[in-house]
Amino acid sequence: MHLEAELSSYWPLLLALLAVLILLFKGPLARKFGGVEEITAERAVQLINQHDAVVIDVREQHEWSRGHLPMARHIPVGQLNKYLKDLEKHQEHHVICQCASGMRSARAASQLRKAGFQKVYSLKGGIQAWRGAGLPVEK
């Protein structure tokens, strides 16, 4: 009985720990269960060069204007649904979604998966990783 009383006094701490764990793993788990594959900048270059992959930059206009991947299309993540019809012609292509760090691109890639795109990826680390790999950016 004494052990039961001790354990019950720890339930708020256990709930707090559970909440922290959920927050820590929410992004990676959502990407994993959303069917979104994260790829490195190097893998993105391979897909672009070997398979003519389509790159969609889902950042906002002010971010886009500071530099973006060569040949990328600019469609802010909040407007992606408006462009789905236009993007349907790329459903059979490799599509790489890219943002600043990889969070919005994972969300956009998940939206595209739900819309029927099979070969859709999120650039892990976003344009920060792209620049970190020494890859070109255009303005």
* Residue 99 designated active-site: yes
What is the C-alpha separation between 71 and 55, in angstroms, rounded? Answer: 7
Catalytic residue among 54, 58, 75, 99: 99
**Angle, CA 40 vertex, CA 117 and CA 71 arms, to 5°:** 65
By the 8 A CB rule, do 105 and 55 touch? no
Could you tell me which residues come within 8 angstroms of residue 82 by beta carbon, excluding any fewer than 6 positions away?
A: none
What is the C-alpha separation between 34 and 65, in angstroms, rounded? Answer: 30
By the 8 A CB rule, do 49 and 69 touch? no
Instruction: Just list the catalytic residues.
Output: 99
